Amino acid sequence: MWEEKLKIYDQLVAKCHRFKRKGKTVPYTSANGYMFSLLNKNGEIGIRFSKEVQEKYIKEFNSSIYRSHNAVMKGYVLIPDDMLHDLDNVANYLNEGYDYVMDLEPK
């Protein structure tokens, strides 16, 4: 199952040309010193947004906050599996997460 989700995550990131996937055992994307997406050990994808957008998307996606290794990931939204059938749509959200961290003060 995790390997299948890794393939989906790689396909998702490949649709976005401004950044690349990083991490061997914990795949993620980062820019400007901040991670903005992650594939956890449970095969769940999370994307980071501002607090206001996070709350909006949790409702809109009928989802929840995102956890990785039993830690709540600040600003992240769990991307439901049913959304992964339209990676072009999810890529728009991933690009939005990239834009969000690029607007933050660099680390």
Identify whether the C-beta of residue 29 lies closer than 8 Å to the C-beta of residue 19: yes
Can you read off the two tokens belonging to residue 60?
């809109």
List pLDDT tens digits, range 1-44: 999 999 999 999 999 999 999 998 899 999 999 999 999 999 99
All structural domains of the chain: 2-102 (3.30.1460)
Distance, in Å, from the CA atom of 105 to the CA atom of 34, rounded to the nearest integer, reads 10
Residues 30-89 have pLDDT tens digits of 999 999 999 999 999 999 999 999 999 999 999 999 999 999 999 999 999 999 999 999
**Residue type, position 45, single letter:** I
